[in-house]
Amino acid sequence: MSAIESGPMPLGKALNAGLRQAMLDDDKVLMMGEDIGPLGGVFRVTEGLHAEFGPNRVLDTPLAESGIVGTAIGLAMGGYRPVIEIQFDGFVFPAFDQITTQLAKLTNRLDGAVKMPIVIRIPYGGHIGAVEHHQESPEAYFAHTPGLRVVSPSTPNDAYWMIQDAIRSDDPVIFLEPKARYWPKGEVDVTERALDLHASRVVRRGTDVTLVGHGAMVSTLLQAAAIAEGEGIHCEVVDVRSLSPVDYGPIVDSVRSTGRMVYAQEAPGNVSVGSEIAATVTERAFYSLEAPVLRVSGFDTPFPPAKLEGAYLPDADRVLEAVDRALAY
């Protein structure tokens, strides 16, 4: 039985419901992180779980991300399924060595004898006017690392189901939560899982240009597509959902139909997830392309102060400018 009823809810609450359901389903699931206990986390995603499941399953930890991940690795070896919260995206870097040199490699190093069913939840991205180290987009580091699965929901329904699927995975999962989408509501159906954890999805049909993105950028792409519709341009929108592995089927099928593609992301463009997806789509759909695959991204600079984030982050206007360039070829 589900712990909640279907209906509209914010993405943050959907994550909370998914975490609660996973803990009800498996008493080996436990949570660790800074201030996730009685406080419920900075974004209140774990609110109420400490009271319901107790301090032995919802653990407040010291401010030591490397220690949190190292402890979770030991717990996974002991048969548990730890779910770690990294308080903000920029705080994951003290744990980067543990994640990339230990967590990602242990199962392979031990020839499959040990599983690493660990989920690392990371609120990421901009749009909240935060200070330095609180608005990063580190997805490319983890997608580049063999041994890690990397996913990012863009809707409350995806958040509810994807967090449970990630927890059930025997491989480590980097679970990227777009901060900008924590509060807007969306419909959640707790009765039926719609998609596999690593499936891409077409979220709007169109014929002229394929718009592709992940996380908070999906809502920006839908906004751009709605504006373009008023100008007689019909954009198809694809939500990648999984950054490693990437489900290229829906993306390539769409590009073969439209002949044009724009990828949008908050992260800097150089050596990014968007770069890899653009290159792979070019390889697989080359003879269908009427224009180069274009990318819209954050700039190749450190994330700026909050007052400048509007100039840094891609918006619908920058996406539409890329659409115009694609159609001009």
Q: Are residues 224 and 317 in the same domain?
A: yes
Cβ atoms of residues 85 and 33 within 8 Å:
yes
pLDDT of residue 73 exceeding 50, the answer is: yes
Q: Are residues 162 and 58 in the same domain?
A: yes
3-class secondary-structure state, position 207? coil
Question: In CATH, what number is assigned to the domain containing residue 301?
Answer: 3.40.50.920
Q: Are residues 36 and 133 in the same domain?
A: yes
Q: What confidence score (pLDDT) does residue 306 get?
A: 87
Q: How far apart are CA 317 and CA 312, in angstroms?
A: 13
Q: Is residue 116 part of a domain?
A: yes
β-partners of residue 41 are none
Q: Is residue 37 part of a domain?
A: yes
Q: Are residues 216 and 184 in the same domain?
A: no
Banded pLDDT at 3 (limits 50, 70, 90): low
pLDDT of residue 2 exceeding 60, the answer is: no
Q: How many CB atoms lie within 10 A of CB 74?
A: 10
Percentage of residues of the chain with pLDDT beyond 90? 92
The reported pTM is 0.96
Q: Is residue 193 part of a domain?
A: no
Q: How many CB atoms lie within 10 A of CB 284?
A: 15
Sheet with 261-268: strands ordered across: 201-204, 235-239, 209-213, 261-268, 294-298
Q: Are residues 176 and 267 in the same domain?
A: no
Q: Are residues 80 and 124 in the same domain?
A: yes
Which of 161, 188, 215 represents a domain boundary (last residue)?
Answer: 188
CA distances from 66 to 80, 93, 129, 281 (A): 18, 9, 27, 36
pLDDT of residue 1 exceeding 50, the answer is: no
Which of 50, 127, 133, 134 is flagged as catalytic? 134
Q: Are residues 144 and 266 in the same domain?
A: no
Cα dihedral sign, 199-177-146-172: negative
Q: 38 lies in which domain range? A: 7-188
Tokens in use for 298? Answer: 């954050």
Q: Is residue 251 part of a domain?
A: yes
Is position 127 annotated as part of the catalytic site?
A: no
Q: How far apart are CA 116 and CA 80, in angstroms?
A: 9
Specify the amino acid at residue 208. Answer: D
Q: Is residue 196 part of a domain?
A: no
Q: What are 242-295's pLDDT values in tens digits?
A: 999 999 999 999 999 999 999 999 999 999 999 999 999 999 999 999 999 999
Q: Give the distance, in angstroms, between the CA of residue 156 and the centroid of all CA atoms in the same chain.
A: 12
8-state DSSP, 302? P
Question: In CATH, what number is assigned to the domain containing residue 160?
Answer: 3.40.50.970
Q: Is residue 123 part of a domain?
A: yes
Q: State the DSSP H helix or E strand holding residue 310, giving kind and residue range, or none if neither.
A: helix 309-312
Banded pLDDT at 5 (limits 50, 70, 90): confident
Q: Is residue 2 part of a domain?
A: no
Q: Is residue 1 part of a domain?
A: no
pLDDT of residue 17 exceeding 60, the answer is: yes
CA distances from 71 to 28, 45, 53, 121 (A): 15, 22, 20, 15
Q: How many CB atoms lie within 10 A of CB 112?
A: 9
Q: Are residues 123 and 163 in the same domain?
A: yes
Q: Are residues 181 and 265 in the same domain?
A: no
pLDDT, average across residues 294-300: 97
Domain count, the chain: 2
Only one residue has tokens 């992180």, namely 33
Q: Give the distance, in angstroms, between the CA of residue 158 and the centroid of all CA atoms in the same chain.
A: 10
Q: Are residues 176 and 210 in the same domain?
A: no
Q: Are residues 162 and 277 in the same domain?
A: no
Which of 188, 223, 254 represents a domain boundary (last residue)?
Answer: 188
Q: Are residues 157 and 257 in the same domain?
A: no
Which of 188, 213, 243 represents a domain boundary (last residue)?
Answer: 188
Tokens in use for 275? Answer: 């770069």
